[in-house]
Structure 1
Amino acid sequence: MHAIVVSSPGGSSALEYTEVPDPVPGPDEVLVDVAAAGVNYTDVYHREGRYPLKTPFVVGSEGAGTVSAVGSGVTDLAVGDRVGWVGVLGGYAEKAIIPAARAIPLPDDLSFDLAAAVLLQGLTAHYLTHSTYAVKAGDDVLVHAAAGGMGLLLTQIVKRLGGRVIGTVSTEEKEKLAREAGADDVLRYEGFAEAVRERTGGQGVHVVYDGVGAATFDGSLDSLRLRGHLALYGAASGPVAPFDPQRLNQGGSLSLTRPKLGDYIVTREELLARANDVLGWVASGALKVHISNRYPLADARKAHDDLEGRRTTGKLLLIP
Structure 2
Amino acid sequence: MKAVVLDTDDQFRISEIAEPVAGPGEVAIQVGYAGVQYGDVLVRGGHFPIPRPFVPGFEAAGEIIAVGEGVDKARIGEQVVALIGGGAYAEIVTAPAVLAINASGVDQRRAAGFGWVTPTAYDLVHTVGGVRGGDNVLIHAAAGGVGSLAGQFAAAAGAQRIVGVVGNPGQVEYARRFGYHEVLTRDQFPDVLGEETFDVILDPIGGPTRIASLARLAAHGRIVVYGNIATFEPVTVSANDLLMHGQSLLTYNSNLASQTHPQRLADSAARAMALVADGSVRIDITAEYTLADVETAITNLAGGVTHGKSIVHIG
TM beyond 0.5? yes
How far apart in 2 are the matches of 1:60 and 1:117? 12
For residues 31 and 246 of structure 1, do their structure 2 counterparts lie closer, same or farther at Cα, with a shift above 3 Å needed? closer
Residue 275 of structure 1 and its aligned partner are, at CA, apart by: 2.0
Asked if the contact 1:212/1:235 (under 8 Å) is kept, the reply is: yes
Residue 264 of structure 1 and its aligned partner are, at CA, apart by: 4.6
Q: Which residue, 156, 160, 167 being the options, matches 1:160?
A: 156
Task: Please state whether the residue corresponding to 1:208 is helix, strand or coil.
Answer: strand
1:210 aligns with 2:203: yes
How far apart in 2 are the matches of 1:21 and 1:258? 38
**What is the identity percentage for the equivalent residue pairs of Structure 1 and Structure 2?**
32
| AA of the residue aligned to 1:56 | P
> Equivalent residue for 2:17?
20
> Equivalent residue for 1:104?
101
Where structure 2 has 5 or more consecutive residues not aligned to the other structure, the ranges are none
> Equivalent residue for 2:42?
45
> Equivalent residue for 2:6?
6
Residue 268 of structure 1 and its aligned partner are, at CA, apart by: 5.3
Task: Please state whether the residue corresponding to 1:216 is helix, strand or coil.
Answer: helix
Q: Which residue, 266, 275, 278 being the options, matches 2:272?
A: 278
| AA of the residue aligned to 1:159 | A
Where structure 1 has 5 or more consecutive residues not aligned to the other structure, the ranges are none
Asked if the contact 2:83/2:95 (under 8 Å) is kept, the reply is: no
Paired residues for 1:61-210 under 5 Å = 61-75=58-72, 77-107=74-104, 109-163=105-159, 164-196=161-193, 198=194, 202-210=195-203
Q: Deviations over 1:190-229 (max 9, x none)?
A: 1412323x2xxx2511121011223522222122123322
Residue 20 of structure 1 and its aligned partner are, at CA, apart by: 1.0
How far apart in 1 are the matches of 2:232 and 2:244? 21
1:239 aligns with 2:232: yes
How far apart in 1 are the matches of 2:45 and 2:291? 19
Task: Please state whether the residue corresponding to 1:60 is helix, strand or coil.
Answer: coil
1:258 aligns with 2:251: yes
Q: Which residue, 198, 214, 224 being the options, matches 1:221?
A: 214
| AA of the residue aligned to 2:2 | H
C-alpha RMSD over aligned residues: 2.2
TM-score, normalised to structure 2, is: 0.91
> Equivalent residue for 1:319?
313
| AA of the residue aligned to 1:227 | H
Q: Deviations over 1:27-57 (max 9, x none)?
A: 3222111111111111211222212223322
For residues 115 and 73 of structure 1, do their structure 2 counterparts lie closer, same or farther at Cα, with a shift above 3 Å needed? same
TM-score, normalised to structure 1, is: 0.89
Q: Which residue, 34, 55, 60 being the options, matches 2:57?
A: 60
For residues 294 and 167 of structure 1, do their structure 2 counterparts lie closer, same or farther at Cα, with a shift above 3 Å needed? same
